[in-house]
Amino acid sequence: MSKHHAAFATALAGGLILASPSAFAQGARDWENVPVDTNILFLYYTYSNTEASVDPSLPIEGVSVDAHVPIARYARSFGIAGQAAGVQLIVPYGFVTARLDGTNLQTYSEGLGDVNAVFVMNIAGAPALTRREFATWQPDAYLTGSIGVTAPTGAYDAESLLNIGKNRWMVKPQLSYGKYFGPRTLLAVNGNVQLFGANDEYRGDGRLQQKALFGVDGHLSHDVGDRAWLSLDAVYAHGGTTKVDGVGQDNRQQTLRLGASGSVSLDRATAINLAFTRSVAKKDYTPSATTFSVNLNRAF
């Protein structure tokens, strides 16, 4: 194997597990209250470009990963003990290409991503309401809890350099707080922790473990007229150090991404959302990422 090939394999095996499209971030107004017995179908297209560094002694810049990820997401609301609650199912499918900059080397993978199920329940501020009650309800501050479980359903080949799935379970508890400033402005802050199971087929017969990854994201959104809103978004993650066969990789994450998002309602039940984020602060060994997504959602 040439030095270029070796660097390519090392970068893919060591860093690109973080680029798996099975990860899914919530948006600016995902936790607003809706009437009970509401179904919402979301169809997403997400594009991300991740730039992983390679040995600086090489006359090449690094690895560029382009991930095109269609996502289907279904949500249904109901009431529990007078509080709004709901479930969600998120199913991604990934088309991922990795290229070694400055060379002709590249690899490609596609397939089903890791399926994610989420249970959501309001703690305060978002009562369970019928459609008639909801029409006259005035929203106020809310606190909502959720727990998501990601199953290792994604395409995974232990001998492959690039995989869509992560071949491990993940559990994500989250608390979401929202505060309205007047009828048109909402500040939403979400705190979460991702807890990872082990991948016992890493690089063939290796074992990959990862410590908890803590995250917080904030969204300041404002209505623009009666049919649209715009938001400024920030996402921070800390922790997530990995071990391979018991050996620490010294790769604790400290990343900050900033971006913007918005939504336009086409009618009372249908809307289009756009979102963009980019890494603005990170560790040197953490890939820089740019992500764009668009989704069409309809309530019924």
**Residue, of 208 and 103, whose pLDDT is higher:** 208
Q: Per-residue confidence at 26, pLDDT binned at 50, 70, 90?
A: low
pLDDT of residue 88: 96
pLDDT of residue 17: 39
Q: Which helix (H) or strand (E) holds 6?
A: helix 3-15
The structure tokens listed for 266 are: 């086409």
pLDDT of residue 191: 96
Range with lowest mean pLDDT among 86-90, 94-98, 293-297: 94-98
The structure tokens listed for 24 are: 């899914």
CATH number at residue 241: 2.40.128.130
Q: Per-residue confidence at 204, pLDDT binned at 50, 70, 90?
A: confident
Residue 10 has pLDDT above 50, yes or no: no
User: Distance (Å, rounded) from C-alpha 4 to C-alpha 58?
Assistant: 8
- How many domains, the chain? 1
User: Does residue 44 contact residue 21 with C-beta atoms inside 8 Å?
Assistant: no
**Residue, of 295 and 7, whose pLDDT is higher:** 295
Q: Per-residue confidence at 23, pLDDT binned at 50, 70, 90?
A: very low
Q: Which residues, 6+ apart, have CB-to-CB distance to 113 below 8 Å?
A: 20, 21, 22, 69, 91, 92, 93, 94, 153, 154, 155, 164, 165
pLDDT of residue 16: 43
Tokens 């730039």 identify what position?
51
User: Distance (Å, rounded) from C-alpha 60 to C-alpha 63?
Assistant: 9
Q: Which domain holds residue 48?
A: 3-299
Q: For 294, phi and psi rounded to 5 degrees?
A: -135, 140
The number of residues in the chain equals 300
**Residue, of 259 and 52, whose pLDDT is higher:** 259
User: Does residue 192 contact residue 176 with C-beta atoms inside 8 Å?
Assistant: no
Mean of all residue pLDDT scores within the chain: 88
pLDDT of residue 19: 38
pLDDT of residue 65: 86
- Determine what percent of the chain is predicted with pLDDT higher than 70: 88
What's the average model confidence in pLDDT over 89-116? 89
| Of residues 71, 65, 57, the one with CA closest to residue 107 | 65
Residues 246-278: pLDDT tens digits?
999 898 999 999 999 999 999 999 999 999 999
CA distances from 230 to 63, 83, 222, 263, 274 (A): 33, 28, 6, 7, 9
What's the average model confidence in pLDDT over 91-103? 87
Classify each residue of 107-146 as buried b or exposed e, where b means 16 or more C-beta atoms within 10 Å of its C-beta: bebebebbbbebebbbeebbbbbeeeebeeeeeeebebeb
Residues 134-152: pLDDT tens digits?
999 998 999 999 999 999 9
pLDDT of residue 205: 86
